[in-house]
Structure 1
């Protein structure tokens, strides 16, 4: 798919397996790129599902995210479903919860620190055995009071998921990093209108991406 649509990819088109998201800054450009998309589909013998396609949308739900002119945010219904999950009873349930949360980590500040306690519990429960969902579903999991509190803390963290802005082609990119003995984090932001008379901290930053992790070994 990526090879077929290389001409449009990441400029006016995103692809997730066989789902396509065409985007543009204005209607005229959108129509132009839509024509190019149809031409490429005809060239490679591809077809769209009319029932699953929509055109000229100002806001779309795609891959569990809401995307519009303001930015990208996670689907509130998806967040609500995760926050309503009860305490996992098996390693499989915990594994599924963590996988779903990991999908949102690019908009969660200091995510790795919040989830570290639960990840350790999962690793201990799985041990050296198989990490497949089928195997994990057969393993009961128990939590200490600290781990129960960590589970609730992660769910609260999901509620504060930030909207990610669309990068400004003329903006000033800022990368902030931090690390301790146990964890690290990277935050990527941009400033649309840089004011030379103000220090970095006083600029109007927009969040583009964040990433965090923990050290092991």
Structure 2
């Protein structure tokens, strides 16, 4: 949903919240439940939501999302990142609209005492990182660092190394056509009862995926003013909706 809302935008900003969870106060009745004892005999209690708490992400993300809900069309958020995106509208340039959008987001932050980490913020840029990808007016492209890592990966020598590489490659599967079908021979090697060893076929598949990632296309964002068509397909081992 974060990426889909950016279709048609041309100017972008990222507001990174400082120490995300620490900006949320603990409920007064719950403070005593966070008490810890130190070797010196002192008792310490959390007055703000601690990092690593089991329910912290499920608490923090909805809070920020709900605060920005009136502006979700141009200011979607994901945990401690707020993504502002704008386009030219009604005689105003994209930059003029973007400044208006930033001011509205800042107003929400000021009213609710949310603070930004300026060192991590990006303002009025033609491209920004969003959830592991890069978004611009041209569309969405893969993170070049992740692509470089996947393409430089040596031939796996065991299941652990293969699983690690497949995990990284799967993260980028959007940019590799027919990814699931292509890597199936490699996935078969991860089964507990796998008896097949690495062969020339597996090496060919491994190299083919790396080649497809190295030439990954820029993906277009959906135009919500246009009709959508869902085409389903099925096979012996997968169901997809391209």
In structure 2, the partner of 1:171 is 226
**Gaps in structure 1 of 5+ consecutive residues:** 127-140, 188-217
Contact 2:176 2:216 in 1 (8 A): yes
Alignment root-mean-square deviation, CA: 2.4
Equivalent position to 2:213, from 110, 135, 158: 158
TM-score by length of 2: 0.63
Matched, 1:87 2:183: no
Please name the residue that 2:82 is paired with: 20
Tell me if structure 2 keeps the 8 A contact 1:91–1:125. no
Q: Distance in 1 between matches of 2:76 and 2:153?
A: 31
Query: Are the aligned partners of 2:122 and 2:128 in contact in 1 as well (CA < 8 Å)?
Result: no
Higher RCO (CA < 8 A, seq sep 6+):
2
CA distance in 1, matches of 2:175, 2:151: 16
Report the secondary structure of 2:156's partner residue.
Answer: coil
Query: Structure 2 regions of 5+ residues with no counterpart?
Result: 1-63, 88-93
Q: Paired residue for 2:131?
A: 63
Measure how far apart 1:151 and its partner are.
Answer: 1.5
Distance 2:153 2:212 in 1: 14
TM-score by length of 1: 0.69
Aligned to 1:60, the other structure's residue is in SS state: strand
The match for 1:121 is 189
- The alpha carbon displacement at 1:36 in A equals 1.5
User: Are the counterparts in 1 of residues 140 and 219 from structure 2 also a CA contact under 8 Å?
Assistant: yes
**Bigger Cα Rg:** 2
